Chain A
Amino acid sequence: MRPVPWLGVLGSLLIAVAVAVAVTAPWIAPAKPTQLDLRARLAPPAWVDGGKSNHLLGTDNVGRDVLSRVIWGSRISLTVGTAAALLGMLLGSTLGLLAGYFRGGVDAVISWLINVQLAFPFTLLAIFLLGTVGGGFAAVVVVLALATWVNYARIVRGQVLAIRERDYVLAARAVGVPTGRTLLRYILPNTAAPIVVVASFSTAQAILTQAALSFLGVGIDPSVPSWGAMLDEGRNYLQSAWWIAVFPGLAIALTVLGVNLLGDWLRDWLDPKSAA
Chain B
Amino acid sequence: MSALSEAIALKVHYAVGAPAWRSRAGPGRVVRAVDGVDLQIAAGETVALVGESGCGKSTLGRALLRLEEPTAGVVRFEERDLTTLSAEHLRQRRAAMRMVFQDPFSSLNPRMRIGEALAEPLLVHGLCNSRSARERVAEMLDVVGLDRRVAARYPHEFSGGQRQRVAIARAVIGNPRFVVADEPLSALDISVQAQILDLFADLKDRFALTYLFVSHDLAVVRHVADRVAVMYLGRIVEMGAAEDVFARPAHPYTQALLDAVPVPDPTRERARIIGRLQGELPSPMAPPSGCRFHPRCPRAMSICQRDDPSLLPVASGQAVACWLYAPEGGAPAAERTPVSLASP
Q: Which residues of A contact B107 (CB under 8 A)?
A: 167-168, 170-171
Q: Name A167's contact: one of B91, B103, B120 (CB within 8 Å).
A: B103
A176 to B171, CA, bound (A): 11
User: Which residues of A come within 8 Å of B, CB atoms?
Assistant: 166-168, 170-178, 181, 185-186, 189-190, 192, 272-273, 275-276
Q: Which residues of A contact B103 (CB under 8 A)?
A: 167
A190 to B167, CA, bound (A): 19
What are some 13 contacts across the A-B interface (CB < 8 A)?
A: A167-B103, A168-B106, A173-B67, A174-B65, A174-B98, A175-B98, A175-B170, A176-B121, A177-B124, A186-B112, A189-B109, A192-B111, A273-B154
Pair A178/B156 contact, Cβ less than 8 Å: no
Pair A166/B65 contact, Cβ less than 8 Å: no
Pair B125/A272 contact, Cβ less than 8 Å: no
Query: For B98, B120, B167, which residue has the most chain A Cβ atoms within 10 angstroms?
Result: B120
With A189-B111, A273-B156 already in contact, the answer to whether A181 and B99 are too (CB < 8 A) is no
A170-B67, A170-B107, A177-B124 are known contacts; what are 8 more A-B pairs with Cβ within 8 Å?
A168-B106, A168-B108, A175-B121, A176-B93, A178-B124, A181-B124, A272-B111, A273-B154
B121, closest chain A residue (CB): A175
- 3 tightest A-B contacts by CB? A176-B94, A189-B111, A167-B106
Q: How far is the CB of B167 from chain A (nearest CB, A)?
A: 8
Q: Which residues of B contact A178 (CB under 8 A)?
A: 91, 124
B155, closest chain A residue (CB): A272
A167 to B110, CA, bound (A): 11
B40 within 8 A of A: no
Pair A190/B110 contact, Cβ less than 8 Å: yes
- Interface residues of A, dominant DSSP: helix
Q: Name B110's contact: one of A176, A177, A272 (CB within 8 Å).
A: A272
B280 within 8 A of A: no
Pair A176/B106 contact, Cβ less than 8 Å: no
Q: Which residues of A contact B93 (CB under 8 A)?
A: 176
Pair B156/A176 contact, Cβ less than 8 Å: no
Pair B98/A185 contact, Cβ less than 8 Å: no
Q: Which residues of A contact B65 (CB under 8 A)?
A: 174
Q: How far is the CB of B305 from chain A (nearest CB, A)?
A: 39
Pair A272/B108 contact, Cβ less than 8 Å: no
Using an 8 Å CB-CB cutoff, how does the interface string of B137-157 with A read, 1 for contact, 0 for none? Answer: 000000000000000001011
Pair A272/B67 contact, Cβ less than 8 Å: no
Q: Which residues of A contact B98 (CB under 8 A)?
A: 174-175
Q: Which residues of B contact A171 (CB under 8 A)?
A: 99, 101, 107-108, 167, 170
A189, closest chain B residue (CB): B111
Q: Which residues of A contact B170 (CB under 8 A)?
A: 171, 175
With A168-B107, A170-B67, A171-B101 already in contact, the answer to whether A176 and B125 are too (CB < 8 A) is yes
A168 to B94, CA, bound (A): 16
A179, closest chain B residue (CB): B87
Q: How far is the CB of B112 from chain A (nearest CB, A)?
A: 7
Q: Which residues of A contact B67 (CB under 8 A)?
A: 170, 173-174
B340 within 8 A of A: no
Q: How far is the CB of B269 from chain A (nearest CB, A)?
A: 25
With A176-B91, A178-B91, A273-B156 already in contact, the answer to whether A166 and B106 are too (CB < 8 A) is yes
A276, closest chain B residue (CB): B157
B92 within 8 A of A: yes
Q: Which residues of B contact A170 (CB under 8 A)?
A: 62, 67, 101, 107
Using an 8 Å CB-CB cutoff, how does the interface string of B66-101 with A read, 1 for contact, 0 for none? Answer: 010000000000000000000000011111001101
B111, closest chain A residue (CB): A189
A173 to B98, CA, bound (A): 10
Q: Which residues of A contact B156 (CB under 8 A)?
A: 272-273
Using an 8 Å CB-CB cutoff, how does the interface string of B106-129 with A read, 1 for contact, 0 for none? Answer: 111111100000001100110000
Pair B120/A175 contact, Cβ less than 8 Å: yes
Query: For A168, A172, A192, A276, which residue has the most chain B Cβ atoms within 10 angstroms?
Result: A168
B167, closest chain A residue (CB): A171
A270, closest chain B residue (CB): B111
Q: Which residues of B contact A192 (CB under 8 A)?
A: 111
Pair B101/A167 contact, Cβ less than 8 Å: yes
A192 to B103, CA, bound (A): 24
A171 to B164, CA, bound (A): 13
Q: Which residues of B contact A190 (CB under 8 A)?
A: 109-111
Q: How far is the CB of A174 from chain B (nearest CB, A)?
A: 4
Q: Which residues of B contact A166 (CB under 8 A)?
A: 106
A170 to B99, CA, bound (A): 10
Instruction: Enumerate B189-209 residues with CB–CB distance to A below 8 Å.
Output: none
A171 to B167, CA, bound (A): 9
Q: Which residues of B contact A167 (CB under 8 A)?
A: 101, 103, 106-107
With A170-B67, A171-B99, A275-B154 already in contact, the answer to whether A176 and B92 are too (CB < 8 A) is yes
Q: How far is the CB of A83 from chain B (nearest CB, A)?
A: 27
Q: How far is the CB of B11 from chain A (nearest CB, A)?
A: 20
Query: For B65, B91, B109, which residue has the most chain A Cβ atoms within 10 angstroms?
Result: B109
Q: Which residues of B contact A175 (CB under 8 A)?
A: 94, 98, 120-121, 124, 170-171
Q: How far is the CB of B127 from chain A (nearest CB, A)?
A: 11
Q: Which residues of A contact B95 (CB under 8 A)?
A: 176
Q: Which residues of B contact A176 (CB under 8 A)?
A: 91-95, 121, 124-125
